[in-house]
Amino acid sequence: MILPIYLYGSEVLREEAREVESDSAELQSLIDDMIETMRGAAGIGLAGPQVGRELRLFVVDLDPLREDLEADGEEIPEQPMVFINPEIVSESDEVVAFEEGCLSIPDIRYDIDRPAEVVIRYLDRDFNEQTLAAAGMLARVVQHEYDHIEGVLFVDYLSSLKRKLIARRLRDISAGAIESEYPVLAPLQQA
Ligand code: NI
């Protein structure tokens, strides 16, 4: 089932999400819905808070970019990937800039500096503990999604000048005064 994506301005996007406590049929069905929602919105990552669930959980699907990424020498594990209760255990000193966007902040894209590589420990959807050394696009998306479960959005990293440039657009997004190609929920539509 495709779920509506909560837009910028939603409180749930600003909360520190809580740990997933145990596996359940509801959790597995939420994971399926999140993967379907991410793909339906042509996204490569989606975190629990973006569908209104205050949970430390996100999904990633780099398959749409696989050919290009592999041509650039990146190694992409089997997709989609599910990260439950993830923890970033180390980051490289090297920082790289790359353009980011976010399904909760439609049509805004900016270069953001982040560590080039990270090591992340998490539970997969079978609740097996995994440790992943991620570089390239995988490191990028994992860090962006990890931020979501900490209540952080990529626009938070922009300079105050750049934030002024997008202030009006952000207001429109939080008011739901935008066109979107996928189902969204603005703060006032959240009962
Ligand atoms: Ni995002």
At residue 160, the pLDDT reads 95
Digit-coded pLDDT (tens) for 136-162:
999 999 999 999 999 999 999 999 999
pLDDT at position 48 over 80: yes
Our answer to whether residue 145 is catalytic in this structure is yes
Report, in this order, helix, strand and coil percent for the chain, each rounded to 5: 35, 30, 35
- 144 CA → ligand 1 middle, Å: 6
Stated pTM of the model? 0.97
Range of the domain at 103: 5-189
Q: How far is the centre of ligand 1, averaged over its atoms, from the C-alpha of 13 (Å)?
A: 10
Mean pLDDT, the chain, rounded, equals 97
Q: Which of 178, 148, 141, 181 lies closest to 37 in space, CA to CA?
A: 181
Distance CA 96, CA 122 (A): 24
Q: Tell me the CA–centroid distance for residue 67 and ligand 1, in Å.
A: 23
Give me the number of domains the chain comprises. 1
Closest CA to 86 of 144, 34, 19: 19
- Work out the percent of the chain whose per-residue pLDDT is above 90: 98
Q: What CATH number is associated with residue 59?
A: 3.90.45.10
